[in-house]
Structure 1
Amino acid sequence: MTNVIVAFSKAEDAKNIKNILMKNGFTVSAVCTSGSQTVNSADELGSGVVVCGCRFADMVYQEIYECLPPGMQMLLVASPSQWSGRVPDDMVCLGLPLKVQDLVSTLGMMLETLARRRKKLKNQPKERSREEAEMIQQAKELLMERNHMSETEAHRYIQKCSMDSGTNMVETAQMIMSLINQ
């Protein structure tokens, strides 16, 4: 689930946008009426989309945008004259008067993009530390020496054992070294 923060200076506007989003299947995590509330909510949640207006009593949208954590995106809902030509490339803007379908489809697209990005980051292999890489290399060298394998064959063997046993390659390398060094 992705977090959605609704932030407008008028509480009534924020409530209306929240109701529209909830009727269309979105979960609204926070409703804010000031820039500082919005930034605090974004920091607590860490990632998601801020749907906001242009001006608040304490900040404008640009200041809020600059304070958002890296996992947050902004959907600015304002008159085109208030933001034309002055928004960062990764900020999405919707002009007033607002059409419900435009809001719903735009927010849906932004949430899909965030979900894909999160999934891509999750699926990236973790960087191995130097010690872990050395352990795998030692296990390969033992296999090459003892079983007369090439380095590629030893690597594939460790990979296959790792996949078969459901452990990572470092744990498999440790098991191989402990079995061979007994």
Structure 2
Amino acid sequence: MTNVIVLFPKIEDAKNIRNLLVRHGFRVSAVCTTGAQALASANGLGDGILVCSYKYPDMVYAELAACLPAHFEMLLLASQRVLSECAGSGIMCVAMPLKVQDLLNTLEMMVAGVERRRKKRKSMPKVRSEEERKVLDEAKTLLMERNGMTEEEAHRYIQKCSMDSGTNLIETAEMVLSMMRY
């Protein structure tokens, strides 16, 4: 489930928005009244959506948007005048006075996008360092020499051992090396 942070300068407004979102099935991870609090929460969560007004005691939405972690998106709730200023900035906006259904539909759409990008990031193959590749190749070579396996079979063997033992591929390759050397 996607993390949602609510940021409004008045705590009552923030809590009202949080309660509305929670009632409609969203998980609100933090309620903040300053940009610094929101940034600290966002940095601790990794990815999600920040639902906020345009001005806080310590900064405005544009400064906050520039500081947000890469995998966090902003949903700005503001007057039509402010929204016209942020047109083309890539920030999602909902006009005030707030229509609950507009907020919920926009947030649902953003959550779907965040989850789709998270899934895509997880499916990308992990980039291994040169040292890790060297350890893996060395373990495969040792298995190939000692057990007469092809490179593909050696790799599958290390993968299977990795999954069976619950360790990552490199740790398993290191274990194979330490066991077979002695």
Normalised by the size of structure 1, how large is the TM-score?
Answer: 0.75
Q: Which residue of 1 aligns with 2:31?
A: 31
Partner Cα distance (1:179, 1:11) in 2: 59
Q: Which residue of 2 aligns with 1:156?
A: 156
CA distance in 1, matches of 2:161, 2:15: 56
Cα distance in 2 for residues equivalent to 1:43 and 1:164? 34
Amino acid of the structure 2 residue aligned with 1:133 = R
Kindly tell me the number of residue pairs found equivalent between the two proteins: 182
Identify which range, 114-123 or 67-76, moves more after superposition. 114-123
User: In the alignment, residue 51 of structure 1 is paired with which amino acid?
Assistant: V
Letter of the structure 1 residue corresponding to residue 66 of structure 2 = E
**Equivalent position SS for 2:74:** strand
Superposition pairs of residues 35-114 of structure 1, within 5 angstroms: 35-84=35-84, 86-87=86-87, 89-114=89-114
Match of 1:168 in 2: 168
Q: Contact 2:162–2:168 (CA<8 Å) still a contact in 1?
A: yes
Cα deviation code 1:34-88 (max 9, x no counterpart): 4444444444545432211223344321112122223321101123332226346
| Deviations 1:90-118, CA, capped at 9 Å, x for gaps | 42111233221121122223233333433
Relative distance call for 1:80 and 1:135 in structure 2 (3 A) is same
Normalised TM-score (structure 2)? 0.75
Gapped regions of structure 1 (runs ≥ 5): none
Higher Cα radius of gyration:
1
- Is the CA contact 2:7–2:34 (under 8 Å) kept in the aligned structure 1? yes
Aligned alpha-carbon RMSD (Å): 3.1
Name the CA shift for 1:149/1:111 in 2 (closer, same or farther; >3 Å): same
